[in-house]
């Protein structure tokens, strides 16, 4: 298991370029005063803010990622942004298969698999999002859903690919309703088992995050779970003070 914690901020469709840059300025200023060691911080802004944010955060410890990518490299694909273009803009990570992409834009497991491969080929680290709906959980299908979502990606990725998997139960995203941290840990173990069944020992190079309604009141309980390597944070990442607190709390628990 990789020991480096990863805290990833998913800004979704929030923040203009100006607002993103103001956040970055403030983040860098506060990190200079009081650095957060041993936690890799990643910000995933809107597409228009990606390149300006990369420029602003160059030379700092904060990484930048994209929230999605399209297949291919270059071509007559109006409106599309390929992994290649995202990487050239300076992103190092890309979120793949977020439930909002699956639900709002019809991304299925096959497309998510292909996007994960495209990300790796573009030298981006995919953050593969997996998770069950409320109905699936109530029907006892959580583990089967996770296996179905993880398996094709591991089968398709090259053995030296970097990979992050975020367990995000759909019913916990933006709702304030959370799974027991121990249950998130159990699912993380299921993910590791699936990964290693397909490719022995591959899970050692995969970091597993929890995502869904993480905030400063609950982060310590998730940080205390040994199977989790970080968190994917939506709403609570939009305020720079709250975001820094999350990073500090995670670090304190893991130190
Ligand atoms: P949330 O979002 O923290 O606002 O629940 C998490 C996510 O969608 O990745």
pLDDT digits (tens, 9 = 90+) for 216-240: 999 999 999 999 999 999 999 999 9
Angle between the N-to-C axes of helices 17-33 and 240-254, in degrees from 0 to 180, rounded to the nearest 10:
40
pLDDT at 255: 87
Q: Is 7 in the pocket of ligand 1 (CB under 6 A)?
A: no
Q: Is the pLDDT of residue 1 over 80?
A: no
- If you measure from the C-alpha of residue 42 to the centroid of ligand 1, how many angstroms do you get, rounded to a whole number? 14
Q: Is 232 in the pocket of ligand 1 (CB under 6 A)?
A: yes
pLDDT digits (tens, 9 = 90+) for 191-211: 999 999 999 999 999 999 999
In this structure, the residue with its CA closest to atom 2 of ligand 1 is 234
In this structure, the residue with its CA closest to atom 6 of ligand 1 is 234
For 182, residues 6+ apart whose C-beta sits below 8 A from its C-beta are 225
DSSP per-residue codes, the chain: ----EEEEEE-TT---HHHHHHHHHHHHHHHHHS--TTEEEEEE--HHHHHHHHHHHTTSSEEEEES--BSSSSSS-TT--BHHHHHHTT--EEEES-HHHHHHS---HHHHHHHHHHHHHTT-EEEEEE---HHHHHTT-HHHHHHHHHHHHHHHS-TT--EEEEE--GGGTTTS----HHHHHHHHHHHHHHHHHHSTTGGGGEEEEEESS--TTTHHHHHT-TT--EEEESGGGSSHHHHHHHHHHHHHHH-
pLDDT band at 253 (very low <50, low <70, confident <90, very high): very high
Please name the residue that has the structure tokens 């249950």: 183
Which CATH code fits 5-254?
3.20.20.70
- If you measure from the C-alpha of residue 180 to the centroid of ligand 1, how many angstroms do you get, rounded to a whole number? 16
Q: Is 97 in the pocket of ligand 1 (CB under 6 A)?
A: no
- If you measure from the C-alpha of residue 74 to the centroid of ligand 1, how many angstroms do you get, rounded to a whole number? 31
pTM here? Answer: 0.97
Indicate which residues carry an active-site annotation: 98, 168
pLDDT digits (tens, 9 = 90+) for 121-157: 999 999 999 999 999 999 999 999 999 999 999 999 9
Q: Is the pLDDT of residue 2 over 80?
A: no
Contact 200, 159 (CB under 8 A): no
- If you measure from the C-alpha of residue 189 to the centroid of ligand 1, how many angstroms do you get, rounded to a whole number? 21
Q: Which two tokens stand for residue 5?
A: 């914690």
Percent of the chain with pLDDT strictly greater than 90: 98
Q: Is the pLDDT of residue 21 over 60?
A: yes
The mean pLDDT value for 14-43 works out to: 97
Q: Is 65 in the pocket of ligand 1 (CB under 6 A)?
A: no
- If you measure from the C-alpha of residue 125 to the centroid of ligand 1, how many angstroms do you get, rounded to a whole number? 19
Q: Is the pLDDT of residue 111 over 70?
A: yes
Query: Could you give the CA distance from residue 8 to residue 247 in angstroms, rounded to a whole number?
Result: 10
Count other Cβ atoms within 10 Å, centred on residue 161. Answer: 20
In this structure, the residue with its CA closest to atom 7 of ligand 1 is 234
Query: Could you give the CA distance from residue 212 to residue 138 in angstroms, rounded to a whole number?
Result: 18
Query: Could you give the CA distance from residue 98 to residue 110 in angstroms, rounded to a whole number?
Result: 14
Q: Is 99 in the pocket of ligand 1 (CB under 6 A)?
A: no
Q: Which two tokens stand for residue 148?
A: 């179905």
pLDDT digits (tens, 9 = 90+) for 153-175: 999 999 999 999 999 999 999 99
């Amino acid at each position: 298991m990789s020991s480096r914690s990863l805290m990833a901020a998913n800004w979704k469709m929030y923040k203009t370029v100006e607002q993103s840059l103001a956040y970055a300025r403030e983040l860098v200023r506060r990190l200079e005063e009081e650095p957060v060691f041993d936690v890799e911080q990643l910000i995933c802004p809107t597409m228009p803010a990606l390149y300006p944010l990369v420029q602003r955060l160059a030379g700092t410890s904060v990484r930048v990622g994209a929230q999605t990518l399209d297949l291919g490299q270059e071509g007559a694909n109006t409106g599309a942004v390929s992994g290649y273009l995202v990487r050239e803009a300076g992103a190092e990570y890309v979120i793949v298969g977020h439930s909002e992409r699956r639900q709002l834009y019809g991304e299925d497991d096959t497309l998510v698999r292909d996007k994960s491969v495209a990300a790796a080929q573009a030298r981006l680290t995919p953050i593969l999002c997996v998770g069950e709906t409320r109905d699936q959980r109530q029907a006892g299908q959580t583990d089967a859903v996770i296996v179905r979502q993880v398996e094709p990606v591991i089968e398709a990725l090259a053995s030296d690919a970097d990979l992050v998997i975020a367990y995000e139960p759909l019913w916990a995203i933006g709702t304030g309703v959370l799974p027991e941290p121990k249950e998130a840990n159990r699912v993380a173990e299921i993910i590791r088992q699936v990964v290693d069944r397909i490719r022995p020992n591959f899970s050692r190079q995969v970091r597993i995050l929890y995502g869904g309604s993480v905030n400063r009141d609950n982060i310590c309980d998730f940080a205390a779970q040994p199977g989790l390597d970080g968190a994917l944070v939506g709403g609570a990442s939009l305020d720079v003070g709250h975001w820094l607190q999350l990073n500090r709390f995670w670090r304190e628990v893991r130190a």
